[in-house]
Amino acid sequence: MQTIDISPCTLDERCEALRAEVRAFIAEHIGKYSPAIRARNWAGGDPEWSRMMGERGWIGMTWPKRYGGHERSSLERYVVLEEMLSAGAPVGAHWIADRQSAPLLMRYSPDVLAPRIVPEIVKGSTYFCIGMSEPDSGSDLASIRTRASKIDGGWVINGSKLWTSGAHYAKYMIALVRTEAKSDNRHAGMSQFLIDMNTPGVTHRPIRNMIGDHDFNEVFLENVEVPDENLIGNPGDGWHQVTAELSFERSGPERYLSCSQLLFEMLDAAETSDPRHRVELGRLTARYATMRQMSLGVAGMLHRGENPSLPASVVKDLGALLEQGMPDIAHDLFGGRITPDSSLDQVLAYLAQANVSFSMRGGTREILRGIIARGLGLR
Ligand SMILES: Cc1cc2nc3c(=O)[nH]c(=O)nc-3n(C[C@H](O)[C@H](O)[C@H](O)COP(=O)(O)OP(=O)(O)OC[C@H]3O[C@@H](n4cnc5c(N)ncnc54)[C@H](O)[C@@H]3O)c2cc1C
């Protein structure tokens, strides 16, 4: 079994200086967002916030200068992410492009797509969506049926995608599709394509979640023609590429910092004279501190260029468990005494309903535990 070093990395003085800068920026600009909006955290977005982050150089922080990036360290990027997430900043618009789409383009289309598109992402004005899941294909992603067929000078794509977050404001989708018929090797014959969401034949329909928010969509692809250059990487390599993309998707601090606003609201509402408040909130804060140490361990692995998919799965699973338990703690400590429409009320009302999705998005609990079991040599 492989040995993995997840000891927490040290954040140097540059990181801490940057943290002060980010905190000052947040303090200046966060005031106009209500607690209900801050509760949405990276699931919510405001193009204006993304634009300001782009101006500050906080998107594409680690990318090469030739793509408009800032060539800073992954630990500096980590500091910006944890400050933004802790404050409930509306970072969702550019989140997917910054986290996974641009890294994918730079790796698999470094001379064609990346030079054209990545500089726009860095500015915070071009957003992406992820076209992986389909009706009947979620955890079992290899069963996708959307197909691309070769035509002269390009490909024509037919099929549909489901649960596509942000498809209604994204400029592009990176879609995983079949380019060859299924064979005995289920993971063969898939490829990734860049699809401009304005291409004729692309339509989307909102799916409202149970809170009533419009975050994700159904996307229909009917005879969508894309040029050859929109094939990302080599035909047939889609599975390998998507696995790498998922490890970007699962390795960030957002996997335990979606509910930070609720922690802060509870701390603000706590009565220090109440021993239950002291014990429960002390315990919760200790769990956060542990998650942070583990998340810093994953950040250290990324910084050293190691593959963090196993510990990142542990952090995502434990993070979702922590966050899904928080509304119960809030009800237990404050239930019956929460002022209607107070900050705590707004944040709790949202998170008590939204947090069921935290163990689904980005891979379900059972799938992550399968990855962990395999990593531990148990299956
Ligand atoms: C908020 C949110 C945002 C999302 N955004 C996107 C997006 O932008 N793009 C995108 O492509 N997708 C997106 N998804 C979809 C997400 O990736 C899928 O929901 C997820 O992969 C699970 O697929 P499914 O919903 O089809 O459930 P299923 O795969 O049908 O799973 C149903 C249940 O069966 C369990 N299960 C399935 N297979 C196994 C197994 N082998 N062993 C044990 N248990 C198993 C699962 O753990 C789960 O509990 C989003 C989902 C959510 C909730």
pLDDT at 1: 60
- Atom 16 of ligand 1, nearest CA residue: 361
Asked if 90 contacts 45 with a C-beta cutoff of 8 angstroms, the reply is yes
Q: Whose CA is nearest to atom 18 of ligand 1?
A: 138
**DSSP labels, 153-215:** TEEEEEEEE-S-TTTTT-SEEEEEEESS---SSTTSSEEEEEEETTSTTEEEEEEE-TTS-EE
Residue nearest atom 31 of ligand 1, based on CA coordinates: 139
What is the structure's pLDDT at 244?
A: 85
Pocket test for ligand 1, best of 134, 172, 174, 361 (most atoms within 8 A of CB): 361
Distance (angstroms) between ligand 1 centre and the Cα of 133 equals 8
Tell me which of 3.40.50.2300, 3.40.50.720, 1.10.540.10, 2.40.10.220 is the CATH number of domain 13-127: 1.10.540.10
Q: Which pLDDT belongs to residue 154?
A: 98
Distance 360 CA to ligand 1 centre (A): 5
CA of 162 to the centre of ligand 1 (A): 10
Q: Which residues lie closer than 8 Å to 266 by C-beta, 6 or more apart? A: 281, 284, 329, 330, 333, 334, 344
Quick check: CB of 62 below 6 Å from ligand 1?
no
Note the CATH number of domain 130-236. 2.40.110.10
Sequence spans of domains, the chain? 13-127, 130-236, 243-375
Residues paired with residue 232 on neighbouring β-strands, in sequence order = 192
Cα–ligand 1 centroid distance for 224 (angstroms): 26
Alpha carbon nearest to ligand 1 atom 12, residue: 133
pLDDT value for 147? 98
pLDDT value for 182 = 87
- 331, amino acid identity: H
Rg (CA), the chain: 21
209 CB near ligand 1 (under 6 Å): no
Query: The pTM is what?
Result: 0.95
In terms of Cβ atoms closer than 10 Å to its own Cβ (0-12, 13-18, 19+), residue 172 is: buried
Supply the pLDDT for residue 309: 87
Of the candidates 93, 124, 125, 97, the one whose C-alpha atom is nearest the C-alpha of residue 113 is 97
Q: What is the pLDDT of residue 185?
A: 93
Q: Is 56 in the pocket of ligand 1 (CB under 6 A)?
A: no
Pick the CATH number of 243-375 from 3.40.50.2300, 3.20.20.80, 1.20.140.10, 2.30.42.10: 1.20.140.10
Per-residue tokens: 229: 């250059």
355 lines ligand 1 (CB under 6 A): no
DSSP assignment letter at 233: S
Residue showing tokens 């990276």? 42
Closest by CA to 362, choosing from 311, 313, 293, is 313
**Of 219, 221, 225, residue with least CA distance to 166:** 219
Mean pLDDT by 10 residues, the chain (379 residues): 84 96 98 96 96 98 98 96 97 97 97 98 98 96 97 98 98 98 93 98 97 96 98 96 87 93 96 96 97 94 89 94 97 94 96 95 94 92
**How far, in Å, is the centroid of ligand 1 from the Cα of 173?**
19
Q: Which residues contact 114 (CB under 8 A, 6 or more apart)?
A: 67, 102, 105, 106
pLDDT of residue 245: 85
**Which atom of ligand 1 lies nearest, measured to the CA of 129?**
8
